[in-house]
Structure 1
Amino acid sequence: MWPPVRLVGVAFLLTGVGALATLWPAWRNRSDPGSRSFAVFAVAVAGYASASGLDLFTTNYAVSLALQKVVNACGVLVGAAWLALAVSVTDRVDDSRHLVAALVVVVLAEWTLNWVNPGGVVLARGAGVSGTQFEVVGRVGFWLLLGGAWVQVLVGTGLLVVEFTTTGGLRRRQTGLLALAITPALAASVLNGVVMATADVSYDYTVVGWALSLGVFAVALYSGRFLDVTSVARRRVFEDTTDPIVTLDAEGRVVDSNPAARELVDADDGWEGTPAATFFDPLPVDGERLWREPAVETEVSVDGGSRTRHFTLATTPIAGPQETDRGRVVSLSEVTVVRERERKLDLMRQVQSRVLRHDIRHDVQIIEPAVEAALETVDDDRRPIVERASERTEALLSVSEKARAVERLVDREQSPRTLDLAVTLRRQVAETNEAFPAVSFAVDAPESCEVETIPAVELVFENVLENAAEHNDGPNPSVAVTVTDGGDAVVATVTDDGPGIPDHELSVLADGEETPLEHGTGIGLWIVQWVVDSTAASVTFDTDDTGTAVTVTIPRTGGT
């Protein structure tokens, strides 16, 4: 039967093995914040517990002294790794890179003091205990190392507690579990220090604390999914997205990129830490500008061999505590399909424009004289047929003219200007009356009524007046135009006593699209709707079988 001291030694060794078991989640999620610090922390705990356990199996002072130096070294590393872990997880320190560098320097200095042990300032030989086993006692240097580790653990735990109190959900659960996990080990270490300062110590109570802490760490790793949830989200949102995404640090170096980004720039295995200018060199973009300027938005075209790929590039600043600049997220959203569709639509528009503006107009201009000549010679029986042909010829010419108006509306930028609506409507009424002399027109408007709007507004009333006159087939067709100055806005109403606008004509305007079953019979009403949609004006249609009232309201200022 082993003596109790050997059983305790086995328990300490098993605690070390348990600490090493936590390395697997850290390795699996090694790209996540805090994973590397946690791995160092786990190795340090394993070394601490294992060396303490082995010390209980030796009676040789030299071996015991060496093992105690390992314990001290691992204790120093535990404190530094815990603080680095807390800084990485909470991101509450402005300059974490320099902090980690400072911790490395401190650890190396403490390790040197511990291993050299000048004049026994850290460890010394004490009185014999347990027969031939000699106790290794701590001196001033030992307490400095232990106190430094305590301070680092307390600061790191404080950062986790602050994060716990200011966040919620799974993040709160994770940081809470981490802060709780270190508590048994810290309490045991303090107890061990107090006992060491007042009496002889047979066992290192800190290892007992680590055994308890590992249980909480297991909950944090598997139930709280520390180092795991971040990886799942990142794998789904970051790595699996087809849009290239790159993360830059505050000094313009690439710290992360998804496969789509690396494929786009043909990056090799050494892309981590590459300057932005070098990483983005294959693209027609200024890599320096991406991290020097707070926000960049531009379009990038890349030769993809068989076709050119188009991307919209945007950078998003990464803000740290106190709004410090931590870097940039560079995202490239592919718009190749959109650009190709726009190109095809533009080509289609050009073809349609050419057909409507040139081909149809040219053909109609050839047909029109022939129709006019036929009207002079045709007999009475066939005159209705020729007159119908003449009407359709004029309608085609009208469609061609309106198509040209639509093209001008789309291609030309419309800037607001001052328009005298009363004068404009009187002129347009006179022109429409000349084209439709059988229609009676009446105008009720002030001498002058100025508004600030885009010039294309004239197309609205031109088409409304034409529609009111052309489709009014009553015995005494009439159209009334009124202009009312409402102070902040001017209201113009065109009223006719025609058959009204069919419901399906208005429904396609309300839906904003035409289908094979629901479509209009011309483009006049579309022009009215498009122009109004381009301004701050509004239009309403009040129609039934006794006539139609089209009301256009134009704000006095702010035409767009």
Structure 2
Amino acid sequence: MSAQTTFRYHRYHYLVGQFVSMQVAAVTGLVSLGYLAFGGYLLSRYEGIGVRSLSLFLGLWGGNFLSAAVVIFAFSSFGITNGAQLTQLGSQVPPTLQPLLISVDFLAGLFTVSGIFVWLWFVLQYTQRIGRREKIAIGGLGGGTFLISAANGLTGAAAAFGVIALQPTFRTSIHQFATVFEVLGTSVAIGVGIALLYTTATRHHPFRGRSVIGLSLAVVFPWLVGYLYQFGLVTEFASVSALRASALTLGLGGLWLTVTRDDLFEQLPASRTIGRKTAFDASDTAIVVVNNAGNVSDLNSAAQALFGAAELDSIGAPLDSLLPETVDGDALRQAEPITFELPAGNTVVEAAMTTATDDSGQVIGETIVFTDITDERRRQQRIQVLNRVLRHNLRNDLNIAQGYVDVMLDIDDGVEQYQDKIDAIFENLVTMGDKAQRTETVLAANPLSTDSTALSELIDNAIDSIDADIDSIPTTVTVPDGMAVRINPVVLQSIIEELLSNAVRHSGCSEITISYDAEETTLVVADDGSGLPSHEIAVLDNAEETDLEHGSGLGLWLIKWGTDSFGGTATFDTDATGTRVRVEIPPDLVEEPSPT
């Protein structure tokens, strides 16, 4: 074969290779445009979780391979049809086009990394597995991979144009390190995404296994083809473009079928998780989730409010850090629910723990439901007290009255003294009835008020409502002028009336003092009488009455219940010098007098 024939033969193959490379690159570009068009279609056609992130992935993925196709088409048009020929870049490509081609190639590399991590973001959104930790992980791994890839591309571009001079071995080392890091970062992202999709398919039955394949094909095969070229396994541009076009076509077809045939955005596995999460967060019942180590994994807003704890401070902390010091976390693991009272306020809580397991039945922690049973306990307490009053006090008084009547029937003289005793019993029963009615009025009233009432006015009205017995007892009132409270006057005035009535009628006191402790927002009523019996105070402290331990009437309960209703506390201190009752008022219900 002559030299001329040989030249023509090689020239023919060169032109054919150049033509094929350009045509296949053009096909790759068209398929890439299909990704861009499909992304726009999703945005216009669908709404909901994952639509925007999948559309962004399609945009980046299509832009990535469209840019690569443009570069290969341009290189091929200048006769560069093989990666090994890139060393001829400076001699065969006009200088005016070199920066454009290098920058497009650089952007394609960044699109690859960005597209893969946006795809992972879509998977996390779609399966509703994205939280604060996942966002940090994606930001760290994705951001690090993106920066290293960008630095590698910029270094290569600068070296190619002679902006910087690098030793070949050093340049090779940088490129190898960046490539390995990029491969590891993107492979982790793809692996995690596929694993999440597979797990979701096994648990969420409308989401099928073929949907996993469809979502995975779009990213896996094009990603693998890219590294076939990058590692020098395939260097002919025509072959690279053909593999890319095939992989992209397969991926686009899989995505299309997954979205349209399998109703990707109608089945939404996230809806199940979101529904549970929404119910968890919106529940009025406090719920705390702990892991096997006894540390808090999650808690809803009701639990945060109940224990006065912030979410960030609680997650990861031991369960015992939430509970009162009197409650041991191990005690919650009993078969029966336990009850305890929170130290701040009069809140009574019932705690019930259930074991949490995964799909294989392995124990992964516990869920504890804390139910506020304060109102229920108060209702039980009121029923208990009223039952005792009707059953015990009323029955005893009537039995005594019946006894006096029997005596009066058997005697002729001295009837008047028994008549007086019967009158006193009936008067006491009428007083008890009035007190029961007043207690019912206090409990039925809204304890809070939008309007403020002067505390001194409530005290004066309470004093005026007590009969003339109080006129014989010196009463000292030291309450700052202008001090007001946003408490229903019916509630607080009834409490003050009962405190004064108890001091006047039952303690035998010779002096009463009413004062206000501004520092502790507390009203103090003190007398120098005989003091309350210890068993009466014990009944209030234990918050219940029994057949062996009960109070003598409704008065002290009216004070306690009324104070509890507006969030205050009533404490009784009695000794040989008398009785001091402190009614603590929540500071947010107090209006201090304006300074003069």
The answer to whether TM tops 0.5 is no
Q: Name the one with the larger strand percent.
A: 1
Q: Name the one with the larger helix percent.
A: 2
Structure with the bigger RCO (C-alpha within 8 Å, sep 6+) is 2
TM-score, normalised by the number of residues in structure 1: 0.43
